[in-house]
Amino acid sequence: MLVVTMNDVPGYEIVEVFGEVAGLTVRSRSLGANISAGFRQLGGGEIQEYTELLYNSREEAVQRMIKKAAERGGNAVVAMRFDCNEIAKTLTEFAAYGTAVRIEKVAGK
């Protein structure tokens, strides 16, 4: 499935719009990882435990969004965006959302 942040896809025509689709996940870091990350904060630099959490969470949200788009009959998602929110200072919500569409290649492109 093609997922783009643009509102259209060059070389393709949107032939049907199925509406908004979203994929969500809520994550919490384990106590051990929080302690390890806390020590890393003291020295500065990248906190790899949280970077990995963000990458994995975003990927899971995107895969769930793709599944929803396919269930509605789409073969692409346009105008895809990410959102991230904190819940109760211990959880993080990740959302991927966009518009499920069916696209077809434009002849001669």
Amino acid of residue 108: G
85 alpha carbon, distance to own chain's centre: 13
Question: What's residue 86's pLDDT?
Answer: 84
Task: Say whether pLDDT at 39 is over 70.
Answer: no
DSSP 6-28: SSS-TTEEEEEEEEEEEEEEEE-
| 40 or 67, greater pLDDT | 67
- Residue with the larger pLDDT of the pair 107 and 82: 82
Task: Count Cβ neighbours within 10 Å for each residue of 30-60 and write b for 16 or more, e otherwise.
Answer: eeebeeebeeeeeeeeebebbeebeeebbeb
Q: Do residues 47 and 29 touch, judged by C-beta distance below 8 A?
A: no
Grade residue 109 by pLDDT with cuts at 50, 70 and 90: low
What are the residue ranges spanned by the domains of the chain? Answer: 2-105
Average pLDDT over residues 18-40: 74
**Contact criterion met (CB below 8 Å) for 17 and 81:** no
Q: What is the mean pLDDT of residues 54-83?
A: 96
- For the domain spanning 2-105, the CATH number is 3.30.110.70
What is the band of 68 on the pLDDT scale with cuts at 50, 70, 90? very high
Higher pLDDT, 51 or 18: 18
pLDDT of residue 60: 96
65: buried, middle or exposed (CB in 10 Å: 19+, 13-18, 0-12)? buried
- Predicted pLDDT of residue 20: 98
